[in-house]
Structure 1
């Protein structure tokens, strides 16, 4: 991959005008339009020369022989990184977002559903919200309750959440006394640990001290093997406003629509994409444009996401998906603000 050219002021001015106009109108941009956008500060001949150079460097392309130019993914990347000015949320819009997210007592899954809806409404794109997976939550308290037919009710109090429960079915019987001892051990030794880390730690103990296992750890191990602390469970993902993106002219192509809808339907793939982006080095809002997307189905889209945090830990994500011709300034500001509010609500919950 060649390095990104360093554009001078004139080239930046023309490129910015083209990107902004194309985002607003969705039509190829000609030199006369650029002259109007730049306040007639450059002659048409100069603008045509600059546009030709930008095209040769990979920032612009010409969809038809007689048409103007449209930005490439490279142009959008340069615009987002170097030219874009952040939009400011109006007080009315900020109030709308706060009202629709709800107050401090909103359960986390409901908060994620509301966040995806708000993001879609405000950005006019698809809103995404990925909640914490069970195994990523922090253990506050666990209780096992014996049920008939070798079944065990597992009640988990975790952060950032309230209470979750699941029913396990064991091959062999286990007494309520053994269950109480197992729960007391987990609560005493692992309170504040993530459920995944607890599971890994227990399996490591099993491997290191197989011959020295006492009856208590054997009971705990049985419960872990049956999934008491979660295993390979997908995090809850909320997708809102899919129809909005299909209204965009970029998705008149049936093949593109089919690919994109498949990506939205395969939640496991979307979760994998979001997870891979969250584990990158960027701490804040990320903008992924076109061919930068790890999934082929989303190579015609832009993704703006931010991590959700509980303390210093990343426990989820939210963002918007739209065409590469996206109002990036508005999307970034909106995602950043909604993430800030959700992080605050997660800490309260």
Structure 2
């Protein structure tokens, strides 16, 4: 693998110093840097140009999505690029990652995607940052999906049709599903990949992130839930059960008899059950998160019934 085989597509909006750090971590390790800007007002586009990146500024008349931004970056890659590193602008890429991942793809011709360990830069800044760091510690080996940071085989992505522009979240697992259906593989390597700066310091940010996940779950089911993969069916059902159906039943029963409200003790019992596997902190927020996920899923169904689409849901 040589740098001439590889490009990087960085997406962002008002990332400031984080974007500069991201671009700097990729300089000299890829043939071309492409930065796709989604309406920044902090001078991100100009800063990226100064660092040698080709800048694509998305048309403001159309809704922003990460999927649309990644497709826009992919579209301007020059001929001869075999691999593309997709990365969010709030991440710093490990110095050894590009070579490690590209060598893996070269050695495994059926592999379309390689991702590694994404870590939170400041996990002790908040409980929400710690939750992100734990979430990204996924099992090693062949996987069903990757996150926003991954090295991909360009030909495979093109063959699959790229990202689905309209998805406000969950676009990477949806692309990976289509890649796997086409016979490609997705791998999680035992290698450091990126440092991410979530800056998630408040409960409202975490709530919106979980709500976005619930929206993605429900939309994923609408797209591929009937397929053999049962894409996000379990996640959506779990969110709706714990975050909507059970609370509604308990509250309705409480109108008939206040003793029915004691059924709400099922929630602390669930926290204690999950604590044995993941610790109290993660268990508590896993249970709380189901309410936010249910809200996101229900919003998707409501908007789908009305025939309206949701714009991007940001948490920072």
TM-score range, shorter chain: under 0.3
Specify the structure having the higher radius of gyration (Cα).
1
Instruction: Give the TM-score, by structure 2 length.
Output: 0.24
Instruction: Give the TM-score, by structure 1 length.
Output: 0.23
